[in-house]
Amino acid sequence: MIRAHTVEQVRAAEADLLARLPEGTLMQRAAHGLAHAVVDLLGSGAYGRRVLLLVGSGDNGGDALYAGALLARRGAQVEAWLLSDTAHERGVAALRAAGGRVRHREVTRSGDGRRAASSTCGYDVVVDGIVGIGGRPGLRPAAAAVLDALAGIPVVAVDLPSGVDADTGELEGPHVTADLTVTFGTHKPCHLADPAAAACGAIHLVDIGLDLPEALLEALQPSDVAALLPRPVPDAHKYTRGVVGVRAGSATYPGAALLSVSGAACGLAGMVRYDGDDPVLDLVRAAHPEVVGPGRVQAWVVGSGSAAGAESALRASLADAVPLVVDADALAFADLVAGRPAVLTPHAGELGQMLGEEREVIESAPLRFARRAAEQYDAVVLLKGRRSVIARPDGRARVTLSGTPWLATAGAGDVLGGLVGALLAAGLDPFDAASVGSWLHGAAGTLAAQRGPIVASDVAVALPALLGSL
């Protein structure tokens, strides 16, 4: 499991450790990890390579300076630009002692930053030590101008890309876009949640020995998914493995029925029932002979392609005391679900309608709005996107790290709904069902896309092989 802690949690853990360790120990650990990561990124060692450190006033700059000193001792040509009036003094001294060069704020001040940068091109890597977990979102004009002028050079962010909001993953004004982010002790929410996560590049975690509390945000890894997957017990029969019912699709949108059923029929539940118009049931049976008609189920999947029938399908499903997946057209009636074990699966546009916000506003703060919706609707919310967010009413959340842009294809959400329904029917609680389903969906899409462009049904086809590999 990847766990992300807030700045407050990190500060508390750091204070604990600082009280027990000799001064400077944590920064030395951070700087060593950072220097190693920079060498790895450079590929052919540090000797003779040109490294530019962008240094702010705090300890984030201190990390960069000490790492720069280590790189200079390994033969790199290291230059630090101090972007603030003050900088970590011992870090500056360490860099100088190791043969690094230090330039002061005057040469990089506002417009001059561009000139300074253009006169000193040829850097192999830029290390962003402008600001870390002590920073406010956004960048000051001098830093923004310097970064503009250095565009195209690989950037390693220290702890986080300067300018992003560490706790929310939101952006406010200019920020660094990194190729690699080297973070310390634990992930922060900005490393997992978009839009900030998209600015992090690859992420490398350096263990500095922090003893951390429970995290409110996490991301499943393949081993977590494997551990949570339902497996048939030796004396299993189809009913003990769970029956998932699908109320999706209509004469107008039969494809939604077929795709929802294809996700539900992934093999993780014992049986799939379809409840809908006869012509659609015939189509479903032709594609999935194992699917049967209405009856008792352990979970319902409702809403996609149901058009005008969404409300009655949802009410009928709520009449059974079983968990449910609420998607697409049924999301307009999500109020009915409050307090029931349920997973709501909106995309940003649908969540915007549910919360009275524009799609762009939701996309600018997916973690915040998924949490708000989970609390407001008293249900698990799976907000679909590049980095899907799964939120519980109590604020705990997960982010899905699997997936591929090729999954942006019609009907992929229908497969996801069916898959989550199968996991609910098999006994997973809504939070696990939503996060495991979302992870599997992303990974199956990635697997399918290895062969070329995909359509939604390819995702369902890839599921058994993916599950086998887990």
Ligand X SMILES: NC(=O)C1=CN([C@@H]2O[C@H](COP(=O)(O)OP(=O)(O)OC[C@H]3O[C@@H](n4cnc5c(N)ncnc54)[C@H](OP(=O)(O)O)[C@@H]3O)[C@@H](O)[C@H]2O)[C@@H](O)CC1
Binding-site ranges for ligand X (CB under 6 A): 10, 14, 26-27, 30, 56-61, 63, 84, 130-136, 138-140, 158-159, 184-185, 208
Q: Which of 59, 124, 128, 458 binds K ion (CB under 5 A)?
A: 128
40 is in an annotated binding site: no
The first and second tokens of residue 449, run together, are 């896309």
Euclidean distance between CA atoms 189 and 270, whole angstroms: 37
For residue 68, CA distances in Å to 104, 106, 180, 424 come to: 16, 21, 16, 51
Shortest distance, CB of residue 127 to K ion, whole angstroms?
9
Q: Tell me the C-alpha distance between 202 and 179, whole Å.
A: 6
Closest distance of CB 58 from ligand X, Å: 2
Parallel, antiparallel or unpaired: strands 397-399 and 324-326: unpaired
Rank residues 12 and 455 by Cβ distance to ligand X and give the closer one. Answer: 12
Q: Flag whether 24 is marked binding.
A: no
Question: Of these, 6, 9, 57, 162, which contacts K ion (CB under 5 A)?
Answer: 162
The residues, any chain, with a CB within 8 Å of residue 331's CB and separated by 6 or more, are 303, 344, 345, 346, 350, 353, 354
Which amino acid, one-letter code, is at 200? C
Omega before 195 within 30 of 0, i.e. cis: yes
Which of K ion, ligand X, none does 128 bind, CB closer than 5 to 8 A by kind? K ion
What is the C-alpha to C-alpha distance for residues 450 and 85, in angstroms, rounded to an integer? 51
CB-nearer residue toward K ion: 64 or 436: 64
Q: Which of 341, 331, 321, 313 is nearest to 373 (CA)?
A: 331
Q: Among residues 190 and 419, whose Cβ is nearest to K ion?
A: 190
E strand or H helix at 273:
strand 271-274
| Residue 65 vs 301, nearer CB to ligand X | 65
Report the residue number, 159 or 194, with the smaller CB distance to ligand X: 159
Closest separation in Å from C-beta 182 to ligand X: 9
Q: What six digits make up the tokens of 364?
A: 């600018």
Which lies closer to ligand X via its Cβ, residue 167 or residue 224?
167
Give least dist CB 440 to K ion, A. 34
Contacts of 201 (CB under 8 A, 6+ apart): 155, 157, 177, 178, 179, 180, 181
136 is in an annotated binding site: yes
Cα separation of 318 and 313, whole Å?
Answer: 9
Element (H, E) at 27: helix 25-42
Q: Residue 183, interface with K ion (CB under 5 A)? A: no
User: Could you tell me the smallest distance in angstroms from the CB atom of residue 188 to ligand X?
Assistant: 9
Answer yes or no: is 161 a known binding residue. Answer: no
Is 63 near K ion (CB under 5 A)?
A: no
Contact of residue 224 among K ion, ligand X, none (CB under 5-8 Å per partner type): none
Partner whose footprint covers residue 248, from ligand X, K ion, none (CB < 5 to 8 Å by kind): none
Q: What does 57 interact with, of K ion, ligand X, none (CB < 5 to 8 A by kind)?
A: ligand X
135 is annotated as contributing to ligand binding = yes
322 binds, among ligand X, K ion, none (CB under 5 to 8 A by kind): none
Residue 328 interacting partner from K ion, ligand X, none (CB closer than 5 to 8 Å by kind) = none
Q: Tokens in use for 77?
A: 């040509």
| 18 or 236: CB nearest ligand X | 18
* Residue 394 annotated as part of some ligand binding site: no
Q: Which residues are paired to 183 by β-bridges?
A: 205
Residues 262 and 237 sit within 8 Å (Cβ to Cβ): no
Nearest to 263 by CA among 409, 438, 1: 438
Nearer to K ion, 162 or 260 (CB): 162
Please report whether residue 158 would count as binding K ion according to CB under 5 A. yes
**Was 356 annotated as part of a binding site?**
no
CB 352 within 8 Å of CB 358: yes
Residue 218 as a binder of K ion (CB under 5 A): the answer is no
DSSP 383-419: EBSTT-EEE-TTS-EEE-----GGG-STTHHHHHHHH
Q: How many residues does the chain have?
A: 470
The binder of 208, among ligand X, K ion, none, by C-beta within 5 to 8 A per type, is ligand X
137 is in an annotated binding site: yes
Can you say which residues are annotated as belonging to the binding site for (6S)-NADPHX?
A: 59-63, 132-138, 159, 256, 305, 347, 414
> Per the annotation, where are the binding residues for K(+)?
60, 128, 162
Q: Which residues bind K ion (CB under 5 A)?
A: 128, 157-158, 162
Known binding residues: 59-63, 128, 132-138, 159, 162, 256, 305, 347, 384-388, 413-414
